[in-house]
């Protein structure tokens, strides 16, 4: 039974739930890992994560479906992306199959925290790993901790499905050949100054461009872009320095296979933005958040879909993706992991 909470008024925040998973890497190997009620982490003042930010994370959600099951969406892809992140940060990989098992364990141990079907809220899971032993010379840690906690969340952007206004950023998020394509904590630390500045200036997010030429669209601080052309083609920016969003990759399949749309994954120029009919931000936290307007210094790009509601193609993509996640629409093979019947 879901807890007695006002699910509809939840924002995207942290609420401590009953149990979380913890595994330790010591003496060159992972222990079995266990669930714990202890929501705190104790570590050396000199831990690698505190000195040199040796940490990466993932984000995925558990949903209550229309027919009362609890499921999560493509956790194997989070496991595989976390492997990529760990390898690039010289961290030991928590085995992918055990990652998925731990996701299942955490959701099962917190079933009452999975929001009711139709409430607008979901259970967000945050797997993460960090270097925990003392490190003072610049080198990888020897010991690591892998954890997964979960927290019930509402919409990432205030207003939910209302179109947002974003700005073209003057600062960069990820260098070419850098760490933009992994989920390293450092990428987000880098974006904090700029997101606070954007919010103070009245924008919901920053559109980052490719740092080398500043002519191509990359992504925002926490989501990939989708664009829809006037003739209904889904266009997603291609770059080696953006995070390969699981939502975006899933939407491309949904667009093609469920909605019969043409799909293009290619470089997107800043100069072509005003030719698109619709724009959105996609990600686990954001789901699909429609963008009504992009401000590029003096130039305003206002999408024909307007500032009141999602454009028609974005809505179809949103309804189909969330329909698959909530069990209203049949999912492609392997997308849904059933956790409780």
Residues that bind ligand COI (CB under 6 A): 59, 222, 283-285
| From 54, 85, 224, 325, residue interacting with ligand PLP (rule: CB under 6 A) | 224
Least distance to ligand PLP from the beta carbon of 246, Å?
Answer: 3
| From 17, 55, 122, 284, residue interacting with ligand PLP (rule: CB under 6 A) | 284
- Does 95 contact ligand PLP by CB under 6 A? no
> How buried is 264 (Cβ within 10 angstroms: 0-12 exposed, 13-18 middle, 19+ buried)?
middle
DSSP 8-state secondary structure symbol assigned to residue 217? B
For residue 158, indicate whether it is catalytic: no
Encoding tokens for residue 156? Answer: 């990432």
Of 90-98, 196-204, 244-252, 303-311, the segment contacting ligand PLP by CB under 6 A is 244-252
Encoding tokens for residue 231? Answer: 């003739």
| From 151, 181, 247, 325, residue interacting with ligand PLP (rule: CB under 6 A) | 247
Least distance to ligand COI from the beta carbon of 196, Å?
Answer: 14
Of 1-9, 157-165, 193-201, 217-225, the segment contacting ligand PLP by CB under 6 A is 217-225
Of 164-172, 238-246, 299-307, 330-338, the segment contacting ligand PLP by CB under 6 A is 238-246
- Does 17 contact ligand PLP by CB under 6 A? no
183, 216, 316, 337: the catalytic one is 183
Site for ligand PLP in 264-283 (CB under 6 A): 283
Cα–Cα distance for residue pair 289/305, rounded to 1 Å: 13
Measure Cα distances from 281 to 79, 112, 187 in Å.
23, 30, 18
Report the residue count for the chain: 341
- Does 219 contact ligand PLP by CB under 6 A? yes
Please choose which of ligand PLP, ligand COI, none residue 140 contacts, taking the beta carbon within 5 to 8 angstroms, the exact cut-off set by kind: none
Cα–Cα distance for residue pair 292/202, rounded to 1 Å: 14
Cα–Cα distance for residue pair 76/60, rounded to 1 Å: 10
Nearer to ligand COI, 243 or 261 (CB): 243
Of 3-11, 35-43, 246-254, 317-325, the segment contacting ligand PLP by CB under 6 A is 246-254
Cα–Cα distance for residue pair 309/173, rounded to 1 Å: 29
Cα–Cα distance for residue pair 322/166, rounded to 1 Å: 24
Encoding tokens for residue 104? Answer: 């299942």
- Inter-axis angle of helices 246-253 and 75-88, to 10 degrees? 140
Beta strand 336-340 with 29-30: parallel, antiparallel or unpaired?
A: unpaired
Task: Please give the span between the terminal C-alpha atoms of the chain, in angstroms, as a whole number.
Answer: 13
- Does 243 contact ligand PLP by CB under 6 A? yes
Encoding tokens for residue 337? Answer: 């992991």
Please choose which of ligand PLP, ligand COI, none residue 320 contacts, taking the beta carbon within 5 to 8 angstroms, the exact cut-off set by kind: none
Active site residues: 183
Q: Note the residues at the interface with ligand PLP (CB under 6 A).
A: 59, 219, 222-224, 243, 245-248, 283-284
């Amino acid at each position: 039974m879901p807890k007695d909470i006002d699910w509809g008024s939840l924002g995207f925040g942290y609420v401590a739930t009953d149990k979380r998973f913890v595994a330790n890497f010591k003496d060159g190997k992972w222990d079995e890992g266990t669930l714990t009620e202890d929501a705190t982490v104790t570590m050396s003042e000199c831990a690698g994560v505190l000195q040199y930010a040796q940490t990466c994370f993932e984000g995925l959600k558990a949903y209550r479906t229309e027919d009362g099951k609890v499921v999560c969406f493509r956790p194997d892809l989070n496991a595989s992306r976390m492997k990529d992140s760990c390898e690039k940060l010289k961290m030991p990989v928590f085995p992918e199959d055990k990652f998925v098992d731990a996701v299942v364990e955490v959701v099962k141990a917190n079933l009452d925290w999975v929001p009711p079907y139709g409430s607008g809220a979901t259970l967000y899971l945050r797997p993460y790993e960090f270097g925990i032993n003392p490190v003072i010379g610049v080198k990888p840690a020897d010991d690591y901790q892998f954890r997964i906690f979960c927290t019930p969340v509402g919409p990432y952007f205030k207003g939910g499905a209302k179109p947002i206004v974003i700005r073209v950023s003057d600062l960069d998020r990820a260098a070419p050949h850098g760490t933009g394509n992994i989920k390293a904590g450092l990428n987000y630390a880098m974006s904090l100054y700029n997101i606070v500045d954007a919010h103070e200036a009245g924008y919901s997010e920053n559109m980052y461009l490719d740092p080398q030429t500043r002519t191509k669209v990359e992504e925002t601080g926490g989501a990939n872009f989708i664009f829809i052309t006037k003739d209904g083609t889904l266009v997603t920016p291609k770059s080696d320095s953006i995070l390969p969003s699981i939502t975006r990759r899933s939407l491309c399949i949904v667009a093609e296979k469920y909605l019969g749309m043409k799909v293009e994954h290619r470089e997107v120029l800043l100069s072509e933005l005003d030719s698109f009919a619709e724009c959105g931000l996609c990600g686990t936290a954001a789901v699909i958040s429609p963008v009504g307007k992009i401000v590029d210094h003096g130039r305003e790009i206002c999408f024909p879909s307007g500032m009141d509601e999602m454009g028609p193609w974005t809505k179809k993509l949103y309804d189909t993706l969330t329909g698959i996640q909530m069990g209203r629409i049949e999912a492609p093979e392997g997308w849904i992991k059933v956790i409780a019947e």
